[in-house]
Structure 1
Amino acid sequence: MENSSREVAPKTRGAVLKWQAPIYDLECALVGLRKKFRRETLRHAQLSPGEQILDVGCGTGVLTQLAAEKSGPSGKVVGVDPSLPMISLARKKAARAQSQAEFKLGVVERLPFGNETFDVVLSSLMLHHLPAELKRQGLEEIHRVLKPGGRLLAVDFDRPGHPLWWLGVWPQLFMPALVAHIRGEIPDYLAAAGFYEVQAVGRWFNLLTFWEAKK
C-alpha cells in the first residue's frame, strides 16, 4: 500500500471533497445512493472478468471495490481521486475487505496512465464537479486512456425527467459546473471528446442519467 503521508494532492480546478471523506458514505446513503445504486451502475457497465477498469473520481472506493469483484483476479481495477482524505480512506476500506482494488491520487485532466490502458472507465457523479472547460479536458483524457473499442459508463445529473424536480434544480442553471447537466448537454460533451454511440442507458430518480459511450 502506498504511503499517503508522502503523497501530495495534485492541483485541479475541479471541486475536491476533503473534510467530507469520513461522512461521505453516510451522505450518499441518506440521499438514496446506496449499494443498490452502485450495483445498478455496474449492471449498465456490463463488466467482464479480466478487464482493466478505471474509476475516475472514486471517492471512498465503494464502486471501485464492487468493480474489482466483477473483474476478478485476472483483471485490474484502479480508482483515482484528487482528494488525499478520500484516497486514504478508500485504501483502508479495501485493505479491510481484502479487495484487489488499487487507489491513486490523480486528476481527470491529467490521468496518470498511458494511452490505451483500460477497457472500461467508470465515472460516477464526478462530472458535475468540473467547470465546462475541465469537463472537456477530462473527457478527452478518459478517451485517451481507453483502448480502441473501450467504453465509458458515466452517471451524473441530467435534465430533470419530472416537472417537480425543476422546483429544486432551476437555480443550478446559474452555476457554471451544473448548467450543462440541467440543460441536457452531456451527450454533446461526450461526442466532442471523440466518443461515438453515445446513449442514455438508464435513469435514477428521474434526475440522474447513465450514459454509455464507446471509443
Structure 2
Amino acid sequence: MGDSSREVAPKTQGAVLKWQAPIYDLECALVGLRKKFRRETLRHAHLSPGEQILDVGCGTGVLTQWAAEKISSSGRAIGIDPSIPMIALARKKAARAHSQAEFKLGVVERLPFESGHFDGVLSSLMLHHLPAELKRQGLGEIHRVLKPGGRLLAVDFDRPGHPLWWLGVWPQLFMPALVAHIRGEIPNYLRAAGFRQVQAVGRWFSLLTFWEARK
C-alpha cells in the first residue's frame, strides 16, 4: 500500500485538503453525500469486471474501494490525491477492509500513468477545487490516460436547477474556481480537453451534475 510518511506532497495549484481528512467522511454525510450518492455515482460509471479504473481526487478512498469491488480482482482501481493525510487514511481504510484498491499521491495536472492506460476515470467533487487553467490541464491529462473509447464520469457543481439554490450560490460567481460551474460551463471544458461525447446523465439535489464524457 505504501508508506505515506516517507512521501513528499506533490506541488499543485489546486486546493489540497489536509486537516479535513479525519472528519471528511462525516462532512460528506452531513451534506447528504452518503452511500446513496456513491451508489448513484457508480451506477452512472458503468464499471465492468476486469477494467482499469482511476479515481482522481480520491480523498479517503471510499469511492475507489467501491469501484474495486465492481471490477473484481481481475481489474485494478487506483485512487490518487495530492493530500498526504487523505492518502494515508485511504490506505488504512483499504487495509482494514481487505480491499484491492490502491492509492498514490498525485496531481491531476501530471498524472503518473502512461497514455491510453485506463478504461474509465472517476472524478467526484474534485473539479471545483481547480482554478480555470488547472481544470483545462487536468481534463487534458485525464483524456490522455484514457484508452480510445474510454470514459470519464465526473460529478460536480453545476448551474443550479432550482431558484432557491441561487440564494446560497451566487457569491460563488466571484470565486475563480467555481464560477465556471455556476455558469454551467463544465461541458465546454470537457469538449476543449478532447472529449467528443459529453452528456449530463444525472442530477443530485438540483445542484450537482453527473457528466459522462468519452474519448
Letter in 2 for 1:64: T
Could you tell me how far apart the structure 2 residues matched to 1:3 and 1:213 are? 34
SS state at 2:37 partner? helix
2:192 maps to 192
Q: Deviations over 1:19-65 (max 9, x none)?
A: 00000000000000011101100000010000000000000000000
SS state at 2:14 partner? coil
Matches of residues 177-188 of structure 1 in structure 2 within 5 Å?
Answer: 177-188=177-188
SS state at 2:164 partner? helix
2:82 maps to 82
1:133 maps to 133
Letter in 2 for 1:119: D
Matched, 1:55 2:46: no
2:154 maps to 154
Identity %, equivalent residues? 87
5+ residue gaps, structure 1: none
1:72 maps to 72
Deviation at 1:185, TM superposition (A): 0.1
Matched, 1:9 2:3: no
Could you tell me how far apart the structure 2 residues matched to 1:45 and 1:23 are? 26
Letter in 1 for 2:202: G
* Higher deviation after alignment, 173-182 or 1-10: 1-10
**Once superposed, which parts of structure 1, at least 4 consecutive aligned residues long, lie more than 3 Å away?**
none
Letter in 1 for 2:45: A
Q: Deviations over 1:140-198 (max 9, x none)?
A: 00000000000000000000000000000000000000000000000000000000110
Could you tell me how far apart the structure 1 residues matched to 2:37 and 2:65 are? 14
Could you tell me how far apart the structure 2 residues matched to 1:170 and 1:57 are? 25
Tell me the number of residue pairs that the alignment of Structure 1 and Structure 2 aligns: 215
Deviation at 1:3, TM superposition (A): 1.3
Letter in 2 for 1:25: D
CA-atom RMSD in angstroms = 0.4
